[in-house]
Chains A and B, each alone.
Chain A
């Protein structure tokens, strides 16, 4: 953990030690202050399910949960996430069983190429955490931060509604 008021310079290769819980496991690494959270998750922790899409906080492909809420990990520095509890797409399935949201995406054909899917599923589970029984309009508005270029969104919306009906936990 970073101590308050402690200054880190990167001149001469100094880096910052951060500790983050990811999918229940504690990770401690040295990072350069400018490291993005998504880059840290993919390249240092080695979890590549979280995608980098637009890299401008528009497309939502990099969505993960930070302390239980959906965030865009391309627009957060790893040092800002120090001490937080992160869940990525790899953390949803338990004991080989897909999370109900993943299952609903599969059953409702909520994906085609699949690139947006990890971010879409993480945004959708965060949405149900806030609105457990959403209307179709709630789902459409709740997923406005995630772009899909294949499905036309219809089946994604159906999947989220189906998961809500099945009582999917966040």
Chain B
């Protein structure tokens, strides 16, 4: 399948990409690795009239320490997240989740910024960064702003970036020794999760993100509250779907997804320790 025709421009800087976005608005799409966008374009589910290629903005590919956060450039590939020593030390949950994205070939091309801004509830990294309390940095014509992950996911494949904003950085708080677990349930090795759970726990605090349990990635705040209130892991996991709105598809019914979310949340909390 070959995508419908489009105009192509290779941006030389973030500013140029933003200016082109401002000029062309909704008709233009940014492309980095292209591993979320190109499949949609082949199926005509996306038909941008212009592609702005930001894949060569190498100054947006980095992983560095920044106080109590780790800052990850939006153009950083899953492969680089998966093999980062800095993330191994300070955000091992994110490093591990990145190793579950697609397959090695996909991870050689796909970027963390592409995955986050694509806002697919079935993707591993939106829910994982949500669980970790991440902040995303967006650059627009008037400068940059920080968006809490909790304010970023608006609807299915829809984020709260303005038409002329570019996601430039993902900021993840250091995990400071928190226990963690990433549970991904799927039928084939490389598939999207039918349901996934990313969780961390430290001294009574916890963060739990759910993959593919609604039209957006879900932060399971009721589970964290239950744990903070002294509930057992079993009791807390029963709250797994309180914020979720699972949909039925070819892989699973609503009932099955609900069951999986509770089981995987319990397993994740057990594996993460207290």
Please tell me if the beta carbons of A10 and B11 are within 8 angstroms of each other in the complex: no
Residues of B52-108 contacting chain A, CB below 8 A: 53, 55-56, 79, 102-106, 108
User: How far apart sit A70 and B6, CA to CA, in the bound complex (Å)?
Assistant: 27
Query: Distance (Å) between the CB of B51 and the closest chain A CB?
Result: 7
Q: How large is the interface on B (under 10, 10 to 19, 20 to 34, 35 or more residues)?
A: 20 to 34
Chain B residues with CB under 8 Å of A142's CB are 104
B1 A4 Cβ-Cβ under 8 A? no
Contact of A80 among B5, B7, B55 (CB under 8 A): B55
Whether B42 contacts A79 by the Cβ 8 Å rule is no
Size category, A interface: 35 or more
Expressed in whole angstroms, the Cα–Cα distance for A57 and B8 within the complex equals: 22
Is A133 close to B, CB under 8 A? no
- Per-residue interface assignment for chain B, residues 220 to 248, with 1 indicating a CB less than 8 Å from any chain A CB and 0 otherwise: 00000000000000000000000000000
CB of A51 within 8 A of chain B?
Answer: no
B39 adjacent to A57 (CB under 8 Å): yes
Q: Give bound CA distance, A15 to B51, whole Å.
A: 14
Known A77-B34, A79-B10; further 18 A-B contacts with Cβ < 8 A = A4-B10, A5-B9, A7-B9, A33-B5, A33-B8, A34-B3, A34-B5, A57-B102, A71-B108, A75-B35, A76-B34, A77-B51, A79-B8, A79-B53, A80-B31, A144-B104, A144-B189, A144-B190
B205 at the interface (CB under 8 A from A): no
Tell me which residues across on chain A come within 8 A of B9, comparing CB atoms. Answer: 5-8
User: In the complex the two chains form, is B105's CB within 8 Å of A70's CB?
Assistant: yes
User: Complex: how many Å from CA A7 to CA B39?
Assistant: 23
A-B contact pairs, 9 of them (CB 8 A): A6-B10, A7-B8, A10-B6, A33-B5, A36-B2, A56-B39, A72-B106, A75-B39, A76-B109
Q: Which residues of B contact A77 (CB under 8 A)?
A: 8, 31, 34, 38, 51
A142 CA / B2 CA spacing, docked (Å)? 28
Identify the 10 closest CB pairs spanning chains A and B, nearest first. Answer: A145-B103, A4-B12, A33-B8, A144-B189, A7-B9, A69-B108, A9-B7, A72-B105, A34-B3, A145-B105
From A6, A60, A75, A76, name the one whose CB has the most chain B CB atoms within 10 angstroms. Answer: A75
Q: In this assembly, does A32 line the interface, its C-beta being within 8 Å of a C-beta of chain B?
A: yes
Residue-wise, chain A 60-97 has the 8 Å CB interface mask toward B (1 for contact) of 10010010011110011101100000000000000000
Q: How far is the CA of A144 from the CA of B104 in the complex (A)?
A: 8
B153 to chain A, nearest CB (A): 24
**How far does the alpha carbon of A4 sit from the alpha carbon of B52 in the complex, in Å?**
11
* Contact A5 B12, CB 8 Å, known A33-B6, A34-B6: yes
